[in-house]
Amino acid sequence: MAYAGITVVMWGLNGLFMKLGTNRASARSMVIWVTVGFLLLLPFLWAETRLAGLETRVIFVGLFAGAVNGLGNWAVFACLEKGAKASVAIPLTALYPLCTIALATVFLHERPSARQWLGIGLALAGGAMLSYETAPAAAPEEQIHCGR
C-alpha cells in the first residue's frame, strides 16, 4: 500500500499547489507551466515504454484525451482563480467519474450497478452541498494576485 499512499500524498499536494499557483499566476499561465512539469517526467516514461505498435486509433484517442485533460486543468485553475476554496473545488471536481459513468452509459451502453447508483446519488448531493455558499469564497489572505 506504500505506492497508494504516495499517490494520495502527490495528488493531495497537487490540490494545494493548484491553489497556491493561481494566487500567483493566471489560469492560462498555470496550464503552460503544468504542461512543462509533465514534460519533465517524459524521459522517465520513455525509458520504460515505447509507443511503437499502438494502433493509430488508440494514439488519436490518447492524444485527444490529453488535450481534454489539459482543458480540464484550465477549467479547474480558472475555478480557483475565480475565488473557489481549494477545500471545496478539489473534492467537488474529484466527482468527475460521475460524468465518465454518464458517458459510458450513453455511448458504451454500460449499466451502473446498484452500488454505483448509490455513489451517484451521494455525489450529486455532496456536489450540491459543497457549492453552497453564504459568504464570499476567498478569504482576505487568499486574494488573487495574478497581475492582470
Partner 1 sequence: MQIDSWRFPAWLWYALIGIFLWGLWGFLSKIGADTANPLQMQILFTLGMLPVAGGMLLHTRTKLDRDVGGITYGLLCGVVTGAGTLGYYAALRHQSASVVTPVTGLFPVLTVILAFVLLRERLNKVQMAGMLLALASVVILSI
Please report, as residue ranges, which positions from 113 to 132 form the binding site for partner 1 (by CB under 8 A).
Answer: 115-116, 118-123, 125-132
Query: Which x/- pattern over 73-112 shows residues binding partner 1 (rule: CB under 8 A)?
Result: xxxx-xxx-xxxxxxxxxxxxxxxxxxxxxxx--xx----
Distance of alpha carbon 73 from the chain centroid: 6
Give me the residue label for grid cell 503552460: 32
User: Where do the H-state alpha helices sit in the chain?
Assistant: 2-22, 27-48, 56-81, 86-93, 97-107, 114-130
Q: Are 85 and 137 in contact (CB under 8 A)?
A: yes
Number of shown-chain residues binding partner 1 (CB under 8 A): 119
Residue 56 in the binding site for partner 1 (CB under 8 A): no
Please identify which residue in 56, 109, 111, 134 interacts with partner 1, judged by CB under 8 A: 134
Q: Min. distance of Cβ 80 from partner 1 in angstroms? A: 7
